[in-house]
Amino acid sequence: MDPLTAFAIAALMMLLNGGVLGILHRDLPEALRPSAVSWRIGTLLQAGGCVLLTVQRQLPPAFLLPVANFFLILGITCYWRALRQFYGLPDKPLIYLPLVVAVPGMWWFVAVTPSLSARLWIAAIVWAVIMFNCSQVLRISPRIDRAVSRRVLIAIFTVVAAFMVLRAVLFMLSPSPGSSIIDHTWLNMITPMVASILPVTGTTAYLLLCSERIRRQWEHAATTDYLTGLVNRRIIATTGSQRVSQAREHGKVFGVALVDIDYFKTINDRYGHDIGDLALKHVAARIERSCKAEDLAGRQGGEEFVVLLTRDDITQVLAFGEKVRQSVRSAPFPANGTDLTICVSIGIATLTPADKQFDDLLRRADQALYSAKALGRDRVMAEFGHDVAKSA
């Protein structure tokens, strides 16, 4: 097989991948589509560049080589753009700078001062710069994305960049360098294969990156309360059961605080549901501020929140409840031009040997909360009628 046939096969594979991505991208969520479209354009441009390289014997090099390189470099620039869009980074015209510099340079070293080695170096540097930036976009986002496909893409960008530089170096070191990129050297043979790694294998890795993002979004939606951002009832129940076992194993005090906004219906009726929602977010934020890293706060439903606490002794659990109550009371929040002070009632229960499961603990915290409401609200009650504020 000669290098031109290899370029033709590579172009065909890229076209197929670009076509498949074109069909599949409609299945992606709205937020991922701009990035998928950029990736698809990148793949089709790469294919276009390879098609042009297959007909290079038929067209004048001064026209063909700059145009083919324009397609190829714009293609990888589109990958860079696609990754920036994927991670929500703003569009930056500067990403087209390598293209703007490289294409006239290519033309110069074909038409004015012909030099294959200069062209190879321009290609090597430009590809390395763009590949490096693509991997940087992926590298700075590990907290958002721990997908294996992210690491695969970084590896692909690194391999392609390294190959382009190696190709220029080997060409310079070769005792009898070929006069064009269609000579039958092993380097020219593997060039189309390495060039197709990105649009072919890279596209698969990119699609897996998208599917991992979708999976995470589903997982987040299934575990998080959409309004407050706290975990939902389901996670509280499963984590609560785990913490019961852990507390028994390590001899720690495990407590539950049920936090309920007082007269919440009145807030809704007087100020409207939107302000009610703001009040829920406000209380959620005050609770989170009072939590330690190992605590877990969640929304149980309506205007009720739950906090799972592991402490050294019971007084620390009770102190947490009082801290939350005072934190909410002391921080009015803006509602329709006025500062609204809201209060919460809190019921607290700690794990006892008699508790069989997490629900038993939750039930006793609920009874304590009921007492706090019955005694006039804006207070913390522990189980068995222990009024925290009064005893402090």
Ligand X SMILES: Nc1nc2c(ncn2[C@@H]2O[C@H](COP(=O)(O)OP(=O)(O)OP(=O)(O)O)[C@@H](O)[C@H]2O)c(=O)[nH]1
**Contacting positions for ligand X (CB under 6 A):** 227, 260-266, 268, 273, 276-277, 280, 302-303, 373, 377
Burial class (CB in 10 A: 0-12, 13-18, 19+), 392: exposed
Task: Name, in order, each residue with C-beta under 8 angstroms of 351's C-beta and a sequence gap of 6 or more.
Answer: 244, 247, 248, 253, 254, 255, 361
Shortest Cβ distance from residue 304 to ligand X (Å)? Answer: 8
Shortest Cβ distance from residue 279 to ligand X (Å)? Answer: 7
Where are the extended beta strands (E) located within the chain?
253-261, 296-301, 304-311, 333-335, 338-340, 344-350, 380-382, 386-387
Question: Which residue in this structure is represented by tokens 């969640």?
Answer: 298
In the numeric block, which tokens belong to residue 313?
């002794």
Shortest Cβ distance from residue 229 to ligand X (Å)? Answer: 13
Shortest Cβ distance from residue 369 to ligand X (Å)? Answer: 9
Shortest Cβ distance from residue 83 to ligand X (Å)? Answer: 37
Nearer to ligand X by Cβ, of 37 and 280: the residue is 280
Residue type, position 337, single letter: G
Residue 182 and residue 3 in contact, taking contact as beta carbons nearer than 8 Å: yes
Helix 203-223 / helix 61-86 crossing angle, nearest 10 deg: 10
Shortest Cβ distance from residue 281 to ligand X (Å)? Answer: 10
Nearer to ligand X by Cβ, of 97 and 222: the residue is 222
Nearer to ligand X by Cβ, of 301 and 332: the residue is 301
Q: How many residues appear in the chain?
A: 392
Distance of CA 133 to the CA centre of its chain: 18
Nearer to ligand X by Cβ, of 156 and 280: the residue is 280
Alpha-carbon span 81 to 184, nearest angstrom: 35
Nearer to ligand X by Cβ, of 87 and 271: the residue is 271
Shortest Cβ distance from residue 158 to ligand X (Å)? Answer: 48
Shortest Cβ distance from residue 225 to ligand X (Å)? Answer: 9
Residue type, position 172, single letter: M
Nearer to ligand X by Cβ, of 246 and 266: the residue is 266
CA dihedral 235, 241, 242, 247 (to 10 degrees): 130
Helix 61-86 / helix 97-107 crossing angle, nearest 10 deg: 170
Nearer to ligand X by Cβ, of 70 and 305: the residue is 305
Nearer to ligand X by Cβ, of 127 and 264: the residue is 264
Terminal-residue alpha carbon distance, the chain: 87
Select the residue whose beta carbon is closest to ligand X and give its number: 276
